[in-house]
Structure 1
């Protein structure tokens, strides 16, 4: 029996869940220089706090997200959002950097609920509209990322860093009440064994070349993202700009370009053009980083390049997700777990390496590394296309038919 089209209210609520919870992992980025002064941190070491948060998110993806294929995602979202609220309060009232870091780690783990919202939407949607349903929830997620920085920068300047996380905790509680009231329980068959869940997740990675390809591209795209936002506040608070926390937070609005890119990519992916949008996205990433490496003396230029970089990164992300959800119907949680663990490992690598590079050579050195990341994504796509063409030539020569190993249809369509 075909799935019913997802009602509008649950999609809006899922978008809010994704946006509010993922925001927990981004409040820190425009506040790093303030946190550094509060706890006496120097050089690029404040950026390592971002790494701690992202490491927590990876742990959450690897442990909590697959449970969506075993248990009702609505119930999981309720539990994890309430726990996230508790960690928001721990971060808000931390008296030293160790407790602060522990709070950030826990906040990262349970903020992975954002991806439960994405997989809920993917599982509930009709196949022909899956990419658009995912894009709708992703638009909420991306809006949360964008507004998190602006909100955090503004509120920290007005009421202090503590207020940022107190209000975030209250927002999570309100959202949990909304889920309990309006989000329906899932009505799909669930895998019974947790052992089978984790074993099949690893089997998917071994069996599906498309998943490996997209996981690698996700690693690179989020590395590029984290490299920028981990060092951006440090660069803008110093010479030649000397911007305040509130003004730095406004740079989050430039990320609205990523939200717009998600809508465009969602429509194109449903038409089988995820390969084209991926190449376009990584081209934009490489060119934006190149421009930042060459010249960042103009504040307006910095704003424009922030927008183009975010658009490229979010376009790559949605292209990847549209492709992987063609795999293994009924296992969206496991597919998403494998992909998002690789994705956020890229974030951990990006934020930690950017912190080190910034301490060594400043923002320009980080930008050069960003160019390398973008170009590497294009090289991987070119190699995937070459491998696909060789497979098809062999298939024609031997008279075989079908699809490449792992059931991948056409790399120019879904890769």
Structure 2
């Protein structure tokens, strides 16, 4: 078992958590390039199939709210091992589901049980030294982001070659492998909360009500992720229409373009030596907003979509990493609960972006989706301009 060093956490464990984060979070996103195949296989509308993505994200938000806070109350390694068993069973059900309601139910369960990366991020923040915290969080989050992006590419390829069900069978096998790796390699961390579960959840609500830094970070994160989900949930439908008339594998391959932005975002922590967190976040949101210009005006070309995907991933993920760095600097040991508030908000925003994009696609197709994505980016920018400096000055005066 790898133990954290006296000055921080071992790089082996950081890389381990980064890779596992990507593999686990991928469970939530395999469905996006597969929605067209699922729609045809079950003979349902694109809109009905799109609800699978919405329910997965809502399930993830539910798991973040109900499971992640337990990391402050119970042994985290044991909690992660139990969760891995549950997510494996959920993926197996998805593999053999034959009715749309089954896909809806198991999508909720997959989302709710794929929250392990959000137990890893607080572990990283808690065990890292102050000088390494931002870099280590960036590494773990970059693994998570690569999982999100590459899952779309892998899901599209596997779905076209062997059918959409095979992707979930492969994912279940991966979760079993990860169970043994976690059992052998992950260090144990003692809980820091002694109260009841009811008191634990009350403390989550209290943090949400009383921490302005957390509130603003949560809103910016939610709007950014909602904007990203609006793009990727409907991209497969856009790619299937003229002038592209391409399949799931092509739609999924846009995840590779997004990986360029995600890899660049992983280095954003180094910019703190040159500028403030608030300024980095401002530039990140502006990049997100600019991405929708390419998606709207050049959305009928491959180059326009590729540039749009790279920019939106760079903007959203840079914003995400710096938001997390910002609230983990708060002086409290409630790291899992801080992350719960932020990530629940984050995936509610993702669910909202997915839902609004599905509605926009129904009535205005790609141009409507672009309006939804741009509007969410502008909402994040407005909140940042209005409140970021005020909150920072208030902190300095305390």
Task: Answer whether TM exceeds 0.5 for this pair.
Answer: yes
2:111 alignment partner in structure 1: 108
The within-5 A match list for 1:2-401 is: 4-187=7-190, 189-269=192-272, 273-385=276-388, 387=390
Q: Distance in 2 between matches of 1:66 and 1:20?
A: 22
Name the SS for the 2:29 alignment partner.
Answer: coil
Q: Which runs of 4+ in 1 moved over 4 A?
A: 269-272
Per-residue CA deviation, residues 156-204 of structure 1 (Å, 9 max, x unaligned), is 1111111100000000000010010111111464444323321221111
Q: Distance in 2 between matches of 1:43 and 1:154?
A: 20
Q: Distance in 2 between matches of 1:91 and 1:355?
A: 22
Per-residue CA deviation, residues 18-45 of structure 1 (Å, 9 max, x unaligned), is 1111000000011111111112222433
Name the SS for the 2:267 alignment partner.
Answer: helix
Q: Distance in 1 between matches of 2:338 and 2:121?
A: 12
Q: Distance in 1 between matches of 2:388 and 2:21?
A: 33
Alpha carbons of 1:156 and 1:375: their partners in 2 closer, same or farther (altered >3 Å)?
same
Task: Compute the displacement of 1:47 (Å).
Answer: 1.6
> Which has the higher mean CA deviation after the structures are superposed, 40-49 or 8-17?
40-49
Across the aligned residues of Structure 1 and Structure 2, the Cα RMSD in angstroms comes to: 1.8
Task: Compute the displacement of 1:268 (Å).
Answer: 2.5
Per-residue CA deviation, residues 45-95 of structure 1 (Å, 9 max, x unaligned), is 322110000010011000000000111211111111121111111001101
Per-residue CA deviation, residues 69-127 of structure 1 (Å, 9 max, x unaligned), is 11121111111112111111100110111111111110000001121111111111112
Q: Distance in 2 between matches of 1:204 and 1:76?
A: 23
Q: Distance in 1 between matches of 2:276 and 2:261?
A: 18
Name the SS for the 2:188 alignment partner.
Answer: coil
Q: Distance in 1 between matches of 2:22 and 2:369?
A: 28
Q: Distance in 1 between matches of 2:331 and 2:6?
A: 16
Q: Distance in 2 between matches of 1:187 and 1:176?
A: 20
Structure 2 unaligned regions, length at least 5 = none
Per-residue CA deviation, residues 263-321 of structure 1 (Å, 9 max, x unaligned), is 22222347762211211111111111122222212112211211111111111111111
Per-residue CA deviation, residues 358-384 of structure 1 (Å, 9 max, x unaligned), is 000001111022112212211111111
> How many correspondences in the alignment?
393
Q: Distance in 2 between matches of 1:195 and 1:409?
A: 33
Q: Distance in 2 between matches of 1:271 and 1:176?
A: 41
Q: Distance in 2 between matches of 1:203 and 1:113?
A: 24
Alpha carbons of 1:388 and 1:176: their partners in 2 closer, same or farther (altered >3 Å)?
closer
Q: Distance in 2 between matches of 1:388 and 1:204?
A: 15
Alpha carbons of 1:270 and 1:19: their partners in 2 closer, same or farther (altered >3 Å)?
farther
Alpha carbons of 1:163 and 1:385: their partners in 2 closer, same or farther (altered >3 Å)?
closer
CA contact (8 A) 2:291 2:308 kept: yes
Q: Distance in 2 between matches of 1:344 and 1:352?
A: 12
Structure 1 unaligned regions, length at least 5 = 393-403, 411-415
Q: Distance in 2 between matches of 1:324 and 1:388?
A: 12
Per-residue CA deviation, residues 334-357 of structure 1 (Å, 9 max, x unaligned), is 000001111111011110111011
Give the TM-score normalised by structure 1.
0.91
CA contact (8 A) 1:36 1:46 kept: yes
Task: Compute the displacement of 1:409 (Å).
Answer: 4.0
